[in-house]
Structure 1
Amino acid sequence: MTVIQERFIVVSNGETVGRITATSDGPVIDVDYAVDNNGRGAKLRERIRLDGQGIPLDWSIDGTSLMGGSVHEVLSTENGKTQWTSQADQGCVEADSPRLYVANDTSPYASGIYMRAVLASGRSLEVLPSGRLRAEHLRQVDLDGATVDAYVLSGVKLLPEFVLLGGEHRLIACLGGDLMISEIAVREGYEHHYATLVALGSALTTEHLARVQQRVRHRFDVPVRIRDVRVFDPFTKRLTERMSVTFFRGKITGVGHAAHPGQIEIDGQGGTVLAGLHDMHAHNSAWTGLFYLAAGVTTTRDMGNDNDMLLELLPRFDSGELAGPTVVPSGMIEGRSPFSVRLGIIPDTLDEALDAVRWYADRGYHQIKIYNSMNPDWVKPLTTEAHRLGLRAVGHVPAFATPDRMIEDGYDEITHINQLILGWLLEPDEDTRTPLRLTAMARAKDLDLSGPRVQHTVELMRQHDVGLDTTTVILERLMCGRAGQVHASEAAYLDHMPIGYQRYRKRTFVPAKSAEDLAAYDDSFPKLLHTMAMLHAEGIPLWPGTDDGTGFTVHRELELYVAVGMDPADVLRIATYDCAEHLGRADVSGSIERGKRADFVLVDGDPTQNINDIRKVRMVVKGGDVHFPAEIYRELDIEPFELPPPVTIPGADS
């Protein structure tokens, strides 16, 4: 029997970051998959045995996941019984014929297997462990005279995936399917179509999401009055008595006003209205917009992205063509190394780096963000040029540098709590371009926050008015997630999510050889909370960010702020008005006042007393556009959390 080898290239931002080799010998396929992007990426070896219908009977997957966590997943079929074990779960079913299993950790090559199975079954197929895959044909695409078919495959991940198939349903490319960073896997020989494929993926995504927006956006050409609500005042940090809020198109036109003829009336049923939330560490995509609005986040600070994509996306968010927050962009500048993240601009010389600062300034960016592989000697001239042009300068602590040096060289803010703490844990020759920037956090349990090394940094932050973009929630997820378990950070929402995403979250992300290794992470995470408490007590500004795009993690980040001892009302002020002020937008947003933008949220309950009530989002208004999260979540195959409030339209039938 002929041995067939297929090769695929994984590309991000135009650069090769990984490879897939699939070798077929009859019904058995061996897959080697490795990605290295930003010093991280899955590395897997798979063996798959197919039946005559292309359904995997046996499937073994071994290696490491995104951040180096161990992977050992096994599917086996024998005598009508199918069994599986993965990081997330294990199970066994009996059936007359094999059922398609959706792997928990696998390579993009699996999408081709799924697509062939779904198409053979009529474009919809129940799968193991549960759920249903659906495939929809979108269009035909010409690539150098070869016609390939574009499909959307849903039910595997949190997001649908666009898949290109050639003759005999051979996999040609997988386009996207990630909330934040778009990596595509493309068959060798087609990689020169990268720009075309990225544009195709963008077009398919935009078309799909524009249709969704038409269904979930509510625009009214008459004033809208939300009655029977209590309004959060960030200046007193209290709720008002029950009153009303009126808006017309994009502006708040009344707070506490009586009803007037011709208004649309929304019954707030005693809930709380507060200004829209902020995510101060986002990596926006067309998909994240729906998630953010559903979570009550109306403004994000983008902390590095594909520049062309972002500049095309923002007008679509602003116009309402696509659902999404107001985005304040940061310009990523990364150094050149084998570990470089493929985002923003990667200059090869200092002059090119200075030109990058000017490029961002010319396009109205709020700040520059410096990343891991940057030459530390370039930081001072880059921050000086940024400040000269009116931009702020923030970032990671580049490898082999320290937070102290970055503060002295002009940083206005440090990005990620681990980037700060690593400066107190690492030796000078340790390389944070690798996953060490996460794994070294296991040492934090022994850190003395009252020690001179820590306190010197804190004093520098105070002297230079340097804040911290915390993203503690993502460190909690990475350090404390465990295979087969639902961590407390995910418990409030995970059972509402698609089954594939639920399984993905039930995993150990960190590499560990023993229970003692895992215990070190568990014992170290509280030190991050102690650090936040210490910085807050010292007057260091803390900014809630997530490095995620689901919106749910914004809620968890705010809960962690309360967990370190901050009052819920203080946290709400930070998440609304203080963030708006920090971004230079307090004159238009951040509080419920006449004349400001109609960017606000209606939640059930009183989050000034119970911060968890911030999750109970019933309605979101962004620039006057009304969205009901329940409608958005149904479009995303997520079980809604809260019902929309009653709406009365004058003249409409009751």
Structure 2
Amino acid sequence: MDVSVTPRPQAGPFFTISGYTPLSVQMMMLRYWLSHGKPRRLKQLPADGDLIIEETGRETIPGGTRLVRYSIGNVVWGRESLWLNDRQELAAAATYAGNLPLEAVRDEYRAALPQLIRSAVADRIRELGTIHADSGADVAIVNALLIDGNGGAPIEGASVLVKDGRIAAAGPRDRVAIPRGVRTIDAGGKTLLPGLWEMHAHFAQVEYGPAYLAAGVTTARDCGGEFEFLTAVRDLINNRGGAGPRLILAGLVDGSGAGTFGVNWADTPEQGRAMVAKYKAAGFAQMKVYNRIKPEVLTAIAAEAHRQGMSVTGHVPNGMTAFQGVEAGMDQINHLGPVQQAVRAVGLEKAVQFFKDHHTVIDPTLAWGELLSRPRDVEITSFEPGFSKAPFTLTSMIGTASGQGARLAESFRIVRALVEAGVPVVAGTDKAVPAHSLHRELELYLQAGVPAMEVIRLATIGSARAMGMERETGSIEAGKRADMILVEGNPLQDFANLRKVVRVIANGRSYDPAKLWESVGFKP
């Protein structure tokens, strides 16, 4: 068999690289770029599209070493940062693998990693600096179909007044006085809803911020990432230094050893309590426990977290059941798998009653499972239209498997039973197709038999309540933070309309979703 390939002639410099690549190869790429005159664009093969490489700064780290920082686009989704020392050795990197942050640093520069990550985050924010809110001034939205998030009947012809980033008034037009001179947006009968909550994010890069806003997400809970990156990007976004949803952080902790996740470990109760103190001091709202946490360490983490005013979410640790995890102090469970195991062990009715009695919050992440485990002959776009709008650097990384159908049917039965019983269910994606998959998650709940209004409620005020923030946000009511979305059509009549976001107001600032999508490489 002839497997020879005729190479395509190339005009100008090029480098052989495609997608997530060993850092040593990226170091060689930078050396090649430098030796060829620092071209603005560098052809990459075999992938389509050009690499964009820029020098973004020079910084001195502890010990007096000078490093040069580079921003690189189109190797992965978004941009990554690499640092070279004066010998053109790779000093550090801040990139992504599987849409999770990947950070690397030479041993001799390890102490400088927090400083380097802050610089990289600042670069990403600056590169996205063209994304400005249309206005942060007071505004009135009139002639809207209002779904306030509390589950009541929609209000036709409603008005909402936003003042100083807060909802000053909301309701029928004759009950909302609009001051003279306030900018007015005529909704034209479109539907105004509370901003959506993404309750299982992995906010691994700043590009998630504009993408989430574009999809109507105004609050996101991160369920475990790199400490330095998360705290830096949270502070920038929450202080209006960048475009993105309000970030709520859950601090990841695992046991040490082979297969551990992350670099924050606790193998003893004392170490567990120390991790709680670390995350609490950094402003995290929750602890997230992972697979290798021992039962006695989980108990210690939960007790200390509760004492500090934090809640506990995460994976049910290996060797424990969901019942044991909750009894040890877990307030919330990530993913439906442990709940499914509980149902198989004692039956649906008993399992659901247990979680109801313990007020356990469940985020099922059905869309992630559907995406990765779909039958091979099923096109992703047949159930997730957002896939066709995503850049190649993302779509090329999504895998496949088979046999999802039967498991999805079982998941539907459990989710419906949980919601009907009053067990708090919240919507999250665990990545999947960034931002778009939150809508798919909600659509799957609808397919499970959950009424459309209840799906909207659990994605708004229900999520705020799960995080103890219902007095601050989650519904369109006077006094609350102005987090709202305007969508074409009525999602109660056709739930697909929830994807048709035409205006996002986050913390009182108004954004055009099309511009947000385009800023991070998506088609609107």
Matches for 1:290-329 after TM superposition, within 5 Å:
290-329=210-249
Q: Which residue of 2 aligns with 1:463?
A: 357
Q: Which residue of 2 aligns with 1:500?
A: 393
Q: 1:129 to 1:363 in 2, by over 3 A?
A: closer
Q: What amino acid is the match of 1:575?
A: A
8 Å contact 1:125–1:133 — kept in the other structure?
yes
SS at match of 2:167: strand
8 Å contact 2:362–2:425 — kept in the other structure?
yes
Name structure 2 gaps, 5 residues minimum: none
Q: Which residue of 2 aligns with 1:478?
A: 372
- Aligned mates of 2:444, 2:410 — CA distance in 1: 13
Question: Of 309, 334, 356, which aligns to 2:254?
Answer: 334
Give how far 1:156 is off.
2.3
Q: 1:356 to 1:100 in 2, by over 3 A?
A: closer
8 Å contact 2:390–2:521 — kept in the other structure?
yes
Q: CA-to-partner distance for each residue in 1:325-380, whole Å, 9 max, x for gaps?
A: 2223333332223222125x422421221343345456654333222111113333
Larger displacement relative to structure 2 (404-413 or 454-463):
454-463
Q: What amino acid is the match of 2:287?
A: I
Is structure 2 residue 435 aligned with structure 1 residue 545? no
Q: Which residue of 1 aligns with 2:319?
A: 400
8 Å contact 1:175–1:198 — kept in the other structure?
no
8 Å contact 2:503–2:512 — kept in the other structure?
yes
Q: 1:305 to 1:481 in 2, by over 3 A?
A: farther
Matches for 1:373-388 after TM superposition, within 5 Å:
373-388=292-307
Give how far 1:386 is off.
3.3
Q: What amino acid is the match of 1:267?
A: D
Q: 1:565 to 1:199 in 2, by over 3 A?
A: same
Q: 1:483 to 1:149 in 2, by over 3 A?
A: farther
Q: 1:179 to 1:327 in 2, by over 3 A?
A: farther
Q: 1:201 to 1:77 in 2, by over 3 A?
A: farther
Normalising by structure 1, report the TM-score: 0.70
Matches for 1:137-216 after TM superposition, within 5 Å:
137-141=55-59, 148-165=67-84, 171-177=90-96, 181-186=100-105, 190-210=106-126, 212-213=128-129, 215-216=131-132
8 Å contact 2:267–2:293 — kept in the other structure?
no
Q: What amino acid is the match of 2:119?
A: A
RMSD: 3.2
8 Å contact 1:545–1:554 — kept in the other structure?
yes
Give how far 1:122 is off.
2.2
Is structure 2 residue 48 aligned with structure 1 residue 130? yes
Name structure 1 gaps, 5 residues minimum: 1-75, 82-93, 425-448, 511-517, 641-654
Is structure 2 residue 134 aligned with structure 1 residue 218? yes
Larger displacement relative to structure 2 (287-296 or 252-261):
252-261
- Aligned mates of 1:586, 1:323 — CA distance in 2: 23
Larger radius of gyration: 1
Question: Of 486, 489, 500, which aligns to 1:616?
Answer: 500
- Aligned mates of 2:135, 2:169 — CA distance in 1: 18
SS at match of 2:352: helix
Q: CA-to-partner distance for each residue in 1:618-652, whole Å, 9 max, x for gaps?
A: 22111112222222222212222xxxxxxxxxxxx
Q: Which residue of 2 aligns with 1:41?
A: none
Q: What amino acid is the match of 1:486?
A: I
- Aligned mates of 2:280, 2:23 — CA distance in 1: 38
8 Å contact 1:162–1:177 — kept in the other structure?
no
Q: 1:452 to 1:95 in 2, by over 3 A?
A: same
Q: 1:390 to 1:209 in 2, by over 3 A?
A: closer
Q: 1:394 to 1:155 in 2, by over 3 A?
A: closer
Q: Which residue of 2 aligns with 1:66?
A: none
SS at match of 2:458: helix
Q: Which residue of 2 aligns with 1:529?
A: 412
8 Å contact 1:157–1:498 — kept in the other structure?
no
Is structure 2 residue 144 aligned with structure 1 residue 229? yes
8 Å contact 1:118–1:133 — kept in the other structure?
no
Q: 1:407 to 1:560 in 2, by over 3 A?
A: same
Report how many residues are paired: 512
- Aligned mates of 1:211, 1:546 — CA distance in 2: 26
Give how far 1:250 is off.
0.8
8 Å contact 1:140–1:149 — kept in the other structure?
yes
8 Å contact 2:20–2:75 — kept in the other structure?
no
Give how far 1:289 is off.
2.3
Question: Of 241, 245, 267, which aligns to 2:160?
Answer: 245
Q: Which residue of 2 aligns with 1:78?
A: 5
Q: What amino acid is the match of 1:274?
A: L
- Aligned mates of 2:194, 2:333 — CA distance in 1: 26
- Aligned mates of 1:366, 1:201 — CA distance in 2: 22
Q: 1:599 to 1:637 in 2, by over 3 A?
A: same
Q: What amino acid is the match of 1:555?
A: H
Q: Which residue of 2 aligns with 1:565?
A: 449
Q: 1:170 to 1:590 in 2, by over 3 A?
A: same
Q: 1:108 to 1:476 in 2, by over 3 A?
A: farther
Q: 1:79 to 1:598 in 2, by over 3 A?
A: closer
Is structure 2 residue 111 aligned with structure 1 residue 111? no
Q: Which residue of 2 aligns with 1:442?
A: none
Q: 1:577 to 1:169 in 2, by over 3 A?
A: same
Larger displacement relative to structure 2 (397-406 or 309-318):
309-318
Q: CA-to-partner distance for each residue in 1:292-313, whole Å, 9 max, x for gaps?
A: 2222111122323444443444
8 Å contact 2:121–2:233 — kept in the other structure?
no
- Aligned mates of 1:165, 1:364 — CA distance in 2: 33
Structure whose residues are more often strand by fraction: 1
- Aligned mates of 2:231, 2:43 — CA distance in 1: 39
Q: Which residue of 2 aligns with 1:445?
A: none
SS at match of 1:480: coil
- Aligned mates of 1:284, 1:469 — CA distance in 2: 17
Q: 1:99 to 1:310 in 2, by over 3 A?
A: closer
- Aligned mates of 1:247, 1:598 — CA distance in 2: 7
- Aligned mates of 2:522, 2:192 — CA distance in 1: 24
8 Å contact 1:111–1:174 — kept in the other structure?
no
Q: CA-to-partner distance for each residue in 1:92-130, whole Å, 9 max, x for gaps?
A: xx7789975653564334434554566638231454443
Question: Of 244, 260, 265, which aligns to 1:346?
Answer: 265
Q: 1:150 to 1:210 in 2, by over 3 A?
A: closer
Larger displacement relative to structure 2 (293-302 or 122-131):
122-131
Structure 1 vs Structure 2: percent identity of aligned residues?
A: 27
Give how far 1:134 is off.
1.4
- Aligned mates of 1:609, 1:394 — CA distance in 2: 34
Q: What amino acid is the match of 2:310?
A: L
Q: 1:587 to 1:184 in 2, by over 3 A?
A: closer
